[in-house]
């Protein structure tokens, strides 16, 4: 057991001190800080000046109403009547005296229409506000021409009441589903990134030791299974350190900006109102998912002799987790389909898909237990097979041929 802790601490300390770990951690912490202060940053770079727009109203009927509607919808826009010619107004826009020019005219049905002139028409938000308010004014005038009562029109446009009620008392309500969907999405994304990042780290670490011939000494001093499990645990501890820093920084930012952030994205994602069980399941499936793919990564990493080959041999694992992620994204909107139900019992998909079902649906406990049991069983099988492959694979050198090397590693492990 002492050898296990020695290898674990060696793996952990080497990675913690590495430049890649320090740089990625600092950059992520800066990103968290930036997202927490995004509004303040945007305000610091935003231009507080009001855009003045010249308006030529050829009909002499619409300017006052249009000015009132636009300025009520945006504090950053100000409309000013222009009495000179259209060419002079365009020249004033070119000289930046006005931000833009709007020429109001009537169509053949005596309804307003406009032409917009500016030096740069990339200001989509500004143009959208001007167009929307003109559209509303046109609708109002058209209904008056048709002698439609405004109260009747308001009743027609009033949103209908459509309430979704589940007859099954155990089923989740729409509000609960919306709360859970955000938590499930975050967990799926974090699991996806963690498996790719730390799985790649495990295979690279094993390949690095093989390339330096340190592996032969390590394997001779400690059983292969001890060495493999210590590697997995060491990288897991590294991941917990990094994620702990991120969570701590995020919690500090939320606590210090409670009023600014609580009702915003956190409320939208449902993080505030999630039940305790969803977080427990998140931890369980996250740990099992990591162990499953980490064991597979360690086994594959032992088959390559060069760091350059580690990325190539990890491609099937990355594709596998990518497929699971795509299916999970599909299941966020349709969690009760046959595809989601079947894949939730496939061990390599279960960490994501079964967690999705647990979060979004009310499913029998035996299904969850079966999925977790299959996961644990698969991890056990991979650990046993992986230990044998690891034992023989760490002594393989040369170009990797994947499946052929797998057979060679198993053969070498039997000779020992």
What's the CATH number where 94 sits?
3.40.190.10
- Shared domain check, 128 and 221: no
Lowest-confidence pick of 156-165, 243-252, 351-360: 156-165
Residues 6+ apart with CB under 8 A from 235: 11, 12, 15, 198, 201, 202, 205, 294
11 in a domain, yes or no? Answer: no
Integer-rounded Cα Rg, in Å, for the chain is 31
316 is a domain residue: yes
Do the domain assignments include residue 238? yes
- Asked whether residue 151 falls in the same domain as residue 292, the answer is no
Residue 375 — very low, low, confident or very high, per pLDDT cuts 50/70/90?
A: very high
Residue 91 tokens read as 């020249």
| Same domain, yes or no: 196 and 282 | yes
Residue 123: pLDDT band with limits 50, 70, 90: low
Residue 390 lies in a domain: yes
Residue 378 and residue 337 share a domain: yes
The structure tokens 């647990």 sit at: 358
| Confidence bin at 374 (pLDDT 50/70/90) | very high
Predicted pLDDT of residue 406: 58
| Backbone dihedral region for residue 60 (phi beyond 0: left; psi -120 to 50: alpha; all else: beta) | left
Does residue 343 have a pLDDT over 80? yes
Q: What is the pLDDT of residue 373?
A: 94
On whether residue 275 sits in a domain, the answer given is yes
Instruction: Compute the CA torsion angle 181, 186, 189, 193 (nearest 10 deg).
Output: -160
E runs forming strands in 76-137: 77-81, 100-106, 112-118
Number of domains in the chain: 2
- What is the domain range of residue 73? 49-157
- 367 and 314 housed in the same domain: yes
Which two tokens mark 287? 């740990």
Could you tell me if 265 and 316 lie in one domain?
A: yes
Residue 28 falls inside a structural domain: no
Longest dimension (CA), the chain: 98
Residues 6+ apart with CB under 8 A from 337: 331
Strand partners, 51: 77
Q: Which of the residue ranges 136-145, 262-271, 278-287 would you say has the lowest mean pLDDT?
A: 262-271
Secondary element (H or E) of residue 53: strand 51-57
CA dist., res. 143 & res. 172, Å (int): 44
Same domain, yes or no: 235 and 119? no
From CA 103, how far away is CA 54, in angstroms rounded? 9
Rounded CA-CA distance 329/13 in Å is 36
Structure tokens at 147: 């002698």
Report yes or no on 203 lying in a domain. yes
Burial degree of 184 (CB within 10 A; 0-12, 13-18, 19+): buried
Stretch among 10-24, 224-238, 255-269 having the lowest mean pLDDT: 255-269
Which residues lie across from 78 on neighbouring strands? 52
pLDDT higher than 90, residue 369 = yes
Predicted confidence at residue 217, as pLDDT, reads: 58
* Residue percentage of the chain with pLDDT more than 90: 5
> In this structure, are 149 and 275 located in the same domain?
no
Task: Decide if 15 is inside a domain.
Answer: no
The strand order across the sheet containing 112-118 reads 77-81, 51-57, 100-106, 112-118
Query: If you search the block for the tokens 């999630």, which residue do you land on?
Result: 274
Q: Are residues 208 and 84 in the same domain?
A: no
Mean pLDDT of 387-402: 61
Residues 242 and 286 reside in one and the same domain: yes
Please give the average per-residue pLDDT across 53-67, as a whole number.
86
Distance separating alpha carbons of residues 256 and 217, to the nearest angstrom: 51
- Helix or strand or coil: residue 289? helix
Tokens 């890649």 correspond to 20
Q: How far apart are CA 399 and CA 317, in angstroms?
A: 19
Q: Could you say which of 157, 191, 215 is where a domain stops? A: 157
Q: Identify whether residues 277 and 152 lie together within a single domain.
A: no
Give the Cα separation of 335 and 367 in Å (integer). Answer: 15
209 and 282, same domain (yes or no):
yes
Confidence band of 264 (pLDDT split at 50, 70, 90): very low
- Residue that finishes a domain, picked among 101, 130, 157: 157
Nearest-angstrom CA–CA distance, 268 and 281:
21
How many residues can be counted in the chain? 416
């Amino acid at each position: 057991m002492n050898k296990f802790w020695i290898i674990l601490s060696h793996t952990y300390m080497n990675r913690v001190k590495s430049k890649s770990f320090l740089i990625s951690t600092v950059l992520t912490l800066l990103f968290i800080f930036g997202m927490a202060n995004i509004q303040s940053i945007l305000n610091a770079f935003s231009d507080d000046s009001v855009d003045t727009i010249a308006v030529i109203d050829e009909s002499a009927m619409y300017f006052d109403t249009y000015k009132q509607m636009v300025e009520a919808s945006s504090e950053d826009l100000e409309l000013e009547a222009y009495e000179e010619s259209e060419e002079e107004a365009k020249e004033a826009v070119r000289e930046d005296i006005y931000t833009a020019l709007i020429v109001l005219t009537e169509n053949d049905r005596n309804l307003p229409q406009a032409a917009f002139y500016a030096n740069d028409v990339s200001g989509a938000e500004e143009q959208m506000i001007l167009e929307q308010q003109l559209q509303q004014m046109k609708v109002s005038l058209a209904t008056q021409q048709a002698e439609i009562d405004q109260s009747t029109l308001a009743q027609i446009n009033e949103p209908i009441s459509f309430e979704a009620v589940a007859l099954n008392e155990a089923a989740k309500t729409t509000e609960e589903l919306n709360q859970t969907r955000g938590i499930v999405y975050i967990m799926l994304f974090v699991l996806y990134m963690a498996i790719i990042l730390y799985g790649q780290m495990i295979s690279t670490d094993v390949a690095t030791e093989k390339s330096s011939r340190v592996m032969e000494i390590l394997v001779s001093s400690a059983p292969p299974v001890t060495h493999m499990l210590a590697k997995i645990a060491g990288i897991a501890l590294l991941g917990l350190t990094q994620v702990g820093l991120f969570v701590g920084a995020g919690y500090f930012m939320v606590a210090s900006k409670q009023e600014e952030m609580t009702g915003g994205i956190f409320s939208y994602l449902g993080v505030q109102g999630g039940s305790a069980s969803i977080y427990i399941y998140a931890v369980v499936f996250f740990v099992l998912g990591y162990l499953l793919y980490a064991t597979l990564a360690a086994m594959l990493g032992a088959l390559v002799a060069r760091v350059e080959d580690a990325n190539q041999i990890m491609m099937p694992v990355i594709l596998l987790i990518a497929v699971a992620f795509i299916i999970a994204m599909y299941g966020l909107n349709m969690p009760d389909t046959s595809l989601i139900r079947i894949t939730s019992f496939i061990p390599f998909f279960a960490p994501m898909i079964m967690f999705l079902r647990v979060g979004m649906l009310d499913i029998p406990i035996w299904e969850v237990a079966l999925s977790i049991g299959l996961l644990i069983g698969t991890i056990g099988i991979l650990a046993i097979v992986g230990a044998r492959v690891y034992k023989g694979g760490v002594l393989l050198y040369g170009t990797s041929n994947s499946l052929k090397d797998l057979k060679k590693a198993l053969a070498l492990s039997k000779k020992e």
